[in-house]
Amino acid sequence: MKKKLQLLAVLTVVALVFTAVGAYAASNYGSQSDPLITMSYLTKTLQPTMESEFNNAVTAAMTQLEQQFESELTGAFKTVSVESGKTMSCNAGCEVLFRSGSAAAVGASGMLDVTSGSVVNANGSMTQNHLYMSPANGSGFKASNSVTVLVRGTYTIG
């Protein structure tokens, strides 16, 4: 009888502990401070939003790549304005016809001055109406004031 009473007491304590843990979990989870996410929220709200953002990002990237590919394929120069203090970084083989403004070459390799047959090293001044070529990725120029150039090839402005 004593063993049965002890077993009953242990089972009662265990049941009370599980009940207390369950009550605590029910009161703290799924509340305003810690909400649960339902499957309908994931499928009807979150997933369409994420898909839309992903599609917009892919579309923008594809449009930019198509424009770059088309400009490289046609081989036509594109007029580009570079604001004062901005840097144009060119990929290898990019051609830049310097039209107006003032700028200094940047990059370890500088820029090749095709017009004069010389190299403009980093921080060297670029001359108006000269054609320059980027000998390596990262070569380019930094605008001292507003600059207008004609560009054929791949570049970034930052």
Long-range contacts of 112-115 (CB under 8 A, 24+ apart): none
For the cut 90, the answer to whether the pLDDT of residue 129 exceeds it is yes
pLDDT top residue among 63 and 6: 63
Asked, for residue 79, whether it belongs to a domain, the answer is yes
Mean of all residue pLDDT scores within the chain:
85
Helix, strand or coil for residue 33?
coil
Instruction: Express each pLDDT in 68-105 by its tens digit.
Output: 777 667 778 889 999 999 999 999 989 999 999 999 99
Asked, for residue 144, whether it belongs to a domain, the answer is yes
Asked, for residue 10, whether it belongs to a domain, the answer is no
Q: Where are the beta strands (DSSP E) in the chain?
A: 78-82, 87-90, 95-100, 103-106, 111-113, 118-120, 130-133, 139-143, 147-152, 155-157
Asked, for residue 60, whether it belongs to a domain, the answer is no
* pTM attached to this predicted model: 0.56
Retrieve residue 47's tokens: 């997933």
Asked, for residue 101, whether it belongs to a domain, the answer is yes
Asked, for residue 142, whether it belongs to a domain, the answer is yes
pLDDT computed for residue 76 by the predictor: 81
Domain that holds residue 125: 75-157
CATH number for 95: 2.60.120.10
pLDDT computed for residue 106 by the predictor: 93
- Total domains in the chain come to 1
Mean pLDDT of 30-47: 76
Mean pLDDT of 36-40: 78
For the cut 90, the answer to whether the pLDDT of residue 66 exceeds it is no
- Is residue 91 within 8 Å of 76, Cβ to Cβ? no
Asked, for residue 103, whether it belongs to a domain, the answer is yes
Asked, for residue 68, whether it belongs to a domain, the answer is no
Where is 62: in which H helix or E strand? helix 47-74
Residue 47's φ and ψ, nearest 5 degrees, are -60, -50
